[in-house]
Amino acid sequence: MKPTFTAIALVAACASGAAHATAYPERPIKLIVPYAAGGTTDIIARIVGTRLGPVLGQPVVVENRPGAGGAVGSAYAAKQPADGYTLVMAVESSHAVNPNVYLKTAYDPVRDFAPVSNLADVPNVLVVNPAFPVTDLQSFIRLLKANHPGKYSFGSSGNGGLSHMNGELFMNATGTRMLHVPYKGLGPALNDAVAGQIQVVFDNIPSSSGLIQGGRLKPLAVAAKQRLKVLPNVPTYSEAGLPAMNNPSWFGLGAPAGTPAAILDKLNHAVRQVLAEPEVIAAIEKQGAIPAPTSRKAFGDLIRAQNAHWKQVVEDIHFTRLQ
C-alpha cells in the first residue's frame, strides 16, 4: 500500500521538527518573569536561568514584566512566537490563582501555554515588621481582633496574586480583617514592610529569607510539611493552629502553546540536568525552597489540578471576583 499524502506530510513535519530541535537554540532565550525583581519568582528564575544558559549553549535572559498579579507578563508571553525563544515562569499565582479571581483574563493558563517542568516547591511564610507587637501567630490573631479592621495592612504582589489570596484566606479562616495594599511585585511590598509603611506580607521564603536572617522582618508561621532548616524555630501553620494555610507554592517553567514538542523535550531535559547540579540544589535550598523537576505531563496535570483547587477556594471564602 502506497503512503497517503497526509502520512508523508506528517513524517516530513516530524523530521523537520526534530531537525529544528537539534539546532535549537541558535540565539539567546528570553525568560519572562511576570513579577518585579526581588520577589520569589524572580529569584528562582535567575538561579535556574543562570545555569540553563550554559547547558543549552545560549544565554537565558530574564525579563521582568510585572503587573496585575502576574497577568501582564503572562499575557505578553502567551502572545509570543511558539519557537522556544520565549519562556515564562508559570507559577501558582499567575497560572492558578489569578485566572480564578479575575472575571476576565487575557490568557488561559492551560490552553495558552505548553508546560515545560516544575522547578521548585516553595514554602510560604507570614512575615511582619519587627516592631509589630506580636510574638507568634496566635498573638497576631488576637491583636487583629482587638482593633478595628482598617488599622493594620498587608501588602501583596498585586490584586489577585497568591500573596493577596493567601491574605484573604487567612482573614476568612481567622475571622479578622486587614487593609489590602497591592504592589507591582513582592519586592516593593517587602521594602515597605521593612520600612513600617505596612505591617504584614504573606510571602514565599526565598524573597523574605535574607530580610528574616538580617532581623529586618519577623516570621510568624510557614506553610510547609515540616519545620524548615533555615527557620527551625518558626512553626508551620498546622503547628500554630491554622492548617488551612499550610500549603507550599510551586514555581515552574512554561512556553507559548504550540511550541514544538521536540523543543519542549529538550528544555525539560535541560531543566532536569540543571536541577540535579549540586550548586543549583544548594542555591535553591539556601532560599528555603525545594528543587522539584517534573515531566511535562506531570507539570501540566499540576496546573490543571491547582486551577480546580483555587476555583473552589474562591467559592468557599465568598471572594468577589475582580474586574
- Strand pairing category for 249-256 and 86-91: antiparallel
pLDDT digits (tens, 9 = 90+) for 193-223: 999 999 999 998 988 989 999 999 999 999 9
pLDDT at 68: 82
- Are 109 and 253 found together in one domain? yes
Domain check: are 233 and 129 in the same one? yes
Residue corresponding to grid cell 501553620: 237
| Interval 177-187 mean pLDDT | 92
Residue 189 near residue 102, CB atoms below 8 Å: no
Mean pLDDT along residues 164-179: 95
Are 191 and 300 within one domain? no
pLDDT reported for residue 42: 94
Cα Rg, the chain, nearest whole Å? 21
Q: Is residue 14 part of a domain?
A: no
Distance from C-alpha of 278 to C-alpha of 284, rounded to nearest angstrom: 10
User: DSSP strand E in 140-248: where?
Assistant: 153-156, 179-182, 200-204, 218-223
Domain count, the chain: 2
DSSP designation for 2: P
Non-local (6+) Cβ contacts of 156 within 8 A are 69, 163, 164, 167, 180, 181, 182, 183, 186, 189, 201, 202
Domain that holds residue 117: 24-122+249-316
- Contact by Cβ (8 Å): 66, 184: yes
Residue 96: DSSP 8-state = I
262 in the same domain as 216: no
- What dihedral do alpha carbons 215, 220, 223, 229 form, nearest 10°? 50
Q: What is the pTM of this model?
A: 0.83
CATH code at position 296: 3.40.190.150
Q: What is the pLDDT of residues 248-270, one digit of tens each?
A: 999 999 999 999 999 999 999 99
Please answer whether residues 122 and 247 qualify as being in contact, where contact means their C-beta atoms are separated by less than 8 angstroms. Answer: no
Q: Is the dihedral of CA 215, 244, 119, 104 positive or negative?
A: negative
* pLDDT, position 181: 97
**Mean per-residue pLDDT, 32-50:** 93
Residue 2's pLDDT band, with cuts at 50, 70 and 90, is low
Q: To which H or E segment does residue 311 belong?
A: helix 296-316
One domain, residues 257 and 115: yes
